[in-house]
Structure 1
Amino acid sequence: MTSRHVRPIDLGAQPPHLSLEFVAFRELHLPRYLSYAKVWFREPGRAAEAVELAFRALAAVWPEILGSPNPTAAAWQIVRSTVTARTAPPDATPAPRATAEDEDLAILHYVVGLATPEIADVVGADTASIASQLRHALRSDIGEW
């Protein structure tokens, strides 16, 4: 389950011009992003570092994120790619993952403990699509977790 009382990561060197929208987005999504990252790292500090890097990347392109058709989905892709890049061994060629999206949804639901509407909020999708993909994941080997 997610911890609703996760301490925010110190922004430290973040630029002082962060918009109110960015700060609100960060506060809303930090606990869920951190819970997701903790699944991939043995040390909580490494998960926090990955999420911090993702938020720094988001801050750098925040106006473009807000101007995208689905800002939440665009932000989620940055978080996913940041976590994935930090978990891949150096010089490793990532293997294609046909079920990467289903795997992420299964992690968010079965491991992190988010309900379908919460997952939809995190990844920027509609609840019906998430429910359908979770059913698919349950029928596949992902559901064996």
Structure 2
Amino acid sequence: MTDRNPRSAEPPPRPGEPADLPPDVPVEFAAFCELHRPRYLSYARVWLPERAEAAAAVQQAFAEIAVHWRELLGSSNPTAHAWQILRGTVAERTRHPVPAAPDRHPADDDLAILHYVVGLAAPEIADVIGTDTASVAGRLRRTMLREASGW
């Protein structure tokens, strides 16, 4: 999968950066982190423009995910649960949260951010938040129509 907006993608972590994982982590967790770190960082950078602060938020989220890793793996949708942990971690660090409009759901705002700002296509968004592509595409269409009707 490729980002439509390569400028929003974060470079891979350099050795010694907080993103390094201890050598004894489960291989599944290491793979999960490697797969999701760039997109999680891009999302966090929307809300936390300081690169170090966004990286710290993502690292904190991965630390929490690691604590609950076995429990998450036993859940019906580990990726969705991990996404909620990331969202919560980023929200805790946001100084001035932007409330959703009364007729909007914050998760729809996340989809719009991931699509229009980060540059992910619907299948990539579905992979990141742990849902199906059709649901993401439909919600993006509804969000776009809602916005267009307000013009």
Counterpart of 1:6 in 2: which secondary structure?
Answer: coil
CA distance in 2 between counterparts of 1:104 and 1:26 reads: 20
TM-score, length basis structure 2: 0.82
Residue in structure 2 matched with residue 124 of structure 1 by the alignment: 130
Given that 1:106 and 1:143 are in contact with CA atoms closer than 8 Å, whether structure 2 keeps it comes out as no
Matched, 1:139 2:145: yes
TM-score, length basis structure 1: 0.85
Alignment of 1:65-80 (within 5 A): 65-80=72-87
Select 2:68's aligned residue among 61, 74, 87.
Answer: 61
Select 2:105's aligned residue among 96, 99, 108.
Answer: 99
Select 1:111's aligned residue among 109, 117, 124.
Answer: 117
State the AA in 1 paired with 2:147.
Answer: D
The percent of aligned pairs where both chains have the same amino acid is 51
CA distance in 2 between counterparts of 1:142 and 1:119 reads: 22
Given that 1:116 and 1:127 are in contact with CA atoms closer than 8 Å, whether structure 2 keeps it comes out as yes
Change (3 A) 1:28 1:96: same
Residue in structure 1 matched with residue 56 of structure 2 by the alignment: 49
Alignment of 1:78-89 (within 5 A): 78-88=85-95
Q: How many residues align?
A: 140
CA distance in 1 between counterparts of 2:28 and 2:59 reads: 17
Q: Which runs of 5+ in 2 are unaligned?
A: none
CA apart distance, 1:143: 9.8
CA distance in 1 between counterparts of 2:148 and 2:115 reads: 11
Select 2:18's aligned residue among 10, 13, 38.
Answer: 10
CA distance in 1 between counterparts of 2:10 and 2:41 reads: 11
Q: Which runs of 5+ in 1 are unaligned?
A: none
- Greater CA drift, 28-37 or 79-88: 79-88
